[in-house]
Amino acid sequence: MLVRLALALMIVAFAVMPRIARANDEHAAIDLIRRILQVARENSPASLVLRSSFNTVAIARSILGARWNSASSKERSDFLDALRDAIAENVVRRFGGERSDLVILRSQTLSNGDIIVLTRVKSETSGIVPVDWRVRRYDADLYVVDLSVNGASVVVERREQYDAWLRTNGGPITGLIPIMQVPPVQPQR
């Protein structure tokens, strides 16, 4: 009798634990987006929080595909540095200062384990725009691996843009660095 009870409790625990883990990851993903937005509002693109909240290796692999595999370690390193800078600058540009009002709506876990944090941005120029943050666990930490703005994946858009540029111009992936650079954000007056 005692063995059956212990087995029943173990079965219930194993059934409930994945739901608890998903809920904890969803809360942690929302906290990650909150930290990113707080730093962006401080207009601090050089922040370690911004630079370490995005998995730039996963993003670079998604954007570059087979070109990532054929790039030298120096080209990869230079590309990753430029990608980190571009992401940080773009996050500050889109969500920093008083330029926009972003509201976190909710999160949901996809069947592959990715978490989507659904947000809406109210901007003076664009109105209300849905911005969804794709967050993925790598080892013990969560990282942003993509954004969807108005339903369009930023990673897919960059993949198409960079692929077209490389097909037209040829050369190594480091040739993309000048088009990745963003002019500095001007302070609000």
| pLDDT tens profile 165-177 | 998 988 888 888 8
Torsion, CA 162, CA 165, CA 166, CA 169, rounded to 10 = -160
The tens digit of pLDDT for each residue in 96-148 reads 765 567 889 999 999 999 999 999 988 777 788 899 999 999 988 999 999 99
- How many residues are recorded in the chain? 189
- Residues 119-150 as b or e (16 or more Cβ within 10 Å = b): bebeeeeeeebebbbbbbeeeeebbbbbbbee
CB 126 within 8 A of CB 104: no
pLDDT band at 6 (very low <50, low <70, confident <90, very high): low
Sheet holding 115-123, edge to edge: 100-109, 115-123, 127-138, 141-149, 152-153
Cα gap 164→152, rounded to integer Å: 18
The tens digit of pLDDT for each residue in 38-50 reads 888 777 666 777 7
Taking alpha carbons only, the member of 59, 40, 31, 57 closest to residue 115 is: 31
The tens digit of pLDDT for each residue in 61-109 reads 999 999 999 999 999 999 999 998 888 888 887 777 655 678 899 999 9
pTM, 2 dp: 0.79
Query: Domain limits of the chain?
Result: 2-180
> Amino acid identity, residue 94?
R
Is it true that domain 2-180 has CATH number 3.10.450.710?
Answer: yes
Report the pLDDT value the prediction gives residue 171, as an integer from 0 to 100: 81
Token pair, residue 153, equals: 């994946």
Token pair, residue 169, equals: 């111009």
Count Cβ atoms below 10 Å from residue 35 Cβ, excluding itself: 14
Q: Compute CA 129 distance to the chain's CA centroid, rounded to the nearest angstrom.
A: 17
Rg of the chain taking only CA atoms, in angstroms: 20
